[in-house]
């Protein structure tokens, strides 16, 4: 379906045209502007909606032509259709000079509108309008509850937001027990639920009301516990597409419960960071989730983040790599006091700390080409798969 914007000070004319498009189901009107936007407003509207076509009222010809010139300069390929209640020869000549070849006037003929739609779609297929859109969408998936994935997502997003000219979204998609609101001490009325419910009609005016801003970081928290809330794949798609057009990077904190909407988020993500700790239960579940993601053709996007690692771990990062068949993209030290202090103050960990520098290193790595996964040596994997059956917590072989 073609995305369209209507710009018309004549509210009745714009409303009539929008109703007709809704009835025909060929063009989706994502915004109906009742006045000609300023240059700044126009930039925000174009980024929010990425229209294929703009229906512009030419009753105020000078303003209409200025809008056309601004859009064509910044967004070549967007099509224009002039609308007006009267058809004057001189006005038609003026709009033809700026490249507008289509005109609609009431009463709108259904067949004529369908034929116009076919021409617009054909032109859009041949030369789709360019749309600035980032691919830097990162999902943070915990191997199990309590491994610190939310802390890693938060601090990674904060580190990214400190990179010059990088606006970042941190979105908490954990509807069971989202932690971002608590960790940042946010007192914000709106949440992910509101964003999802309005995803298909999200615009540049509504979005700022839904997020809490901290410098270059916007936070969309999960709200209160709401495990029964249902999210449709189409809603995720609309929301992520809006995010892509409006942010340089996005970090999405997932619950780890592998809900359908979480799977959809991971399909929309450039990389999936599987967060685990160097402990047997965490690594076991990390391997299980990686295997499942491979079955969904998502295995190639997965990278491992090893959290709370100590210098003398029982299971080394090298062993973790062999076990999971994936490189450990980054290892984070176990700075309990630093994280505790950050939580107490409702902020990220100190950038000057060792852990803070590690998050900054991860943020910088996201601008680089990801590494390719490596194959796991068979012997170590076989050993680990038998570990629960052959050994007890006390180091003795169970009776058979």
Distances (CA, A) of 309 to 8, 159, 380, 396: 60, 20, 20, 27
Domain ranges in the chain are 2-126, 137-388
Q: What are φ and ψ of residue 303, in 5° steps?
A: -130, 150
Q: Is-same-fold flag (2-126; 137-388)?
A: yes
- Positive/negative CA dihedral, 234, 239, 244, 248: negative
Query: How many CA atoms lie within 13 Å of 42's alpha carbon, on the beta-carbon side?
Result: 20
Q: Which fold has domain 2-126?
A: Rossmann fold (3.40.50)
pTM summary value: 0.75
In CATH terms, the superfamily for domain 137-388 is P-loop containing nucleotide triphosphate hydrolases (3.40.50.300)
pLDDT of residue 139: 97
pLDDT of residue 389: 38
From first to last of its 400 residues, the chain has per-residue pLDDT tens of 899 999 999 999 999 999 999 999 999 998 999 999 998 888 888 888 889 999 999 999 999 999 999 998 888 889 999 999 988 888 889 999 988 999 999 999 999 999 999 999 999 888 887 777 899 999 999 999 999 999 999 999 999 999 999 999 999 999 888 999 999 999 889 999 999 999 988 888 899 999 999 999 999 999 888 777 888 888 998 899 999 999 999 999 999 999 999 999 999 999 999 999 999 999 999 999 999 999 999 999 999 999 998 877 778 888 999 889 899 999 999 999 999 999 999 999 999 999 999 999 999 999 876 554 444 444 444 444 434 433 333 344 444 4
Cα–Cα distance between 133 and 250 in angstroms, integer?
12
């Amino acid at each position: 379906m073609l995305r369209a914007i209507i710009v018309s000070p004549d509210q009745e004319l714009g409303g009539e045209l929008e109703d007709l498009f809704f009835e025909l189901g060929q063009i989706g009107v994502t915004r109906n502007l009742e006045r000609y936007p300023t240059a700044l407003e126009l930039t925000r509207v174009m980024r929010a909606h990425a229209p294929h076509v703009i229906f512009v009222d030419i009753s105020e010809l000078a303003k209409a032509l200025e809008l056309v010139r601004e859009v064509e300069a910044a967004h070549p390929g967007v099509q224009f259709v002039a609308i007006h209640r009267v058809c004057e020869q001189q006005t038609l000549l003026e709009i033809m000079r700026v490249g507008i070849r289509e005109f609609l006037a009431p009463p709108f003929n259904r067949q004529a509108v369908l034929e116009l739609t076919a021409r617009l779609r054909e032109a859009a297929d041949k030369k789709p309008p360019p749309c600035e859109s980032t691919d830097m969408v990162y999902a943070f998936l915990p191997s199990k509850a309590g491994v610190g994935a939310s802390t890693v997502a938060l601090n990674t997003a904060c580190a990214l937001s400190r990179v010059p000219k990088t606006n970042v979204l941190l979105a908490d998609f954990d509807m069971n027990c989202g932690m971002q609101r608590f960790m940042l001490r946010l007192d914000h009325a709106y949440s992910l639920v509101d964003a999802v419910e309005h995803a298909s009609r999200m615009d540049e005016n509504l979005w700022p009301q839904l997020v809490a801003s901290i410098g270059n970081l916007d936070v969309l928290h999960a709200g209160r516990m709401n495990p029964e809330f249902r999210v449709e794949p189409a809603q995720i798609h609309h929301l992520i597409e809006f995010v892509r057009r409006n942010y340089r990077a996005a970090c999405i904190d997932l619950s780890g419960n592998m809900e359908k909407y979480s799977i959809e988020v991971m399909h929309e993500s450039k990389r999936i960071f599987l967060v685990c700790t160097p402990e047997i239960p965490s690594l076991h579940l990390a391997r299980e989730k990686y295997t499942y993601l491979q079955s969904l053709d998502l295995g190639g996007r997965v990278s491992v983040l090893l959290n709370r690692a100590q210098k003398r771990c029982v299971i080394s990062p090298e062993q973790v790599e062999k076990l999971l068949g994936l490189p450990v993209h980054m290892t984070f030290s176990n700075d309990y006091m630093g994280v505790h202090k950050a939580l107490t103050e409702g902020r990220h960990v100190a950038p000057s700390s060792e852990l803070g520098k590690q998050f900054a290193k991860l943020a910088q790595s996201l601008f680089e080409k990801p590494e390719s996964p490596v194959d796991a040596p068979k012997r170590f994997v076989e050993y680990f798969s038998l570990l629960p059956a052959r050994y007890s917590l006390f180091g003795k072989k169970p009776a058979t």
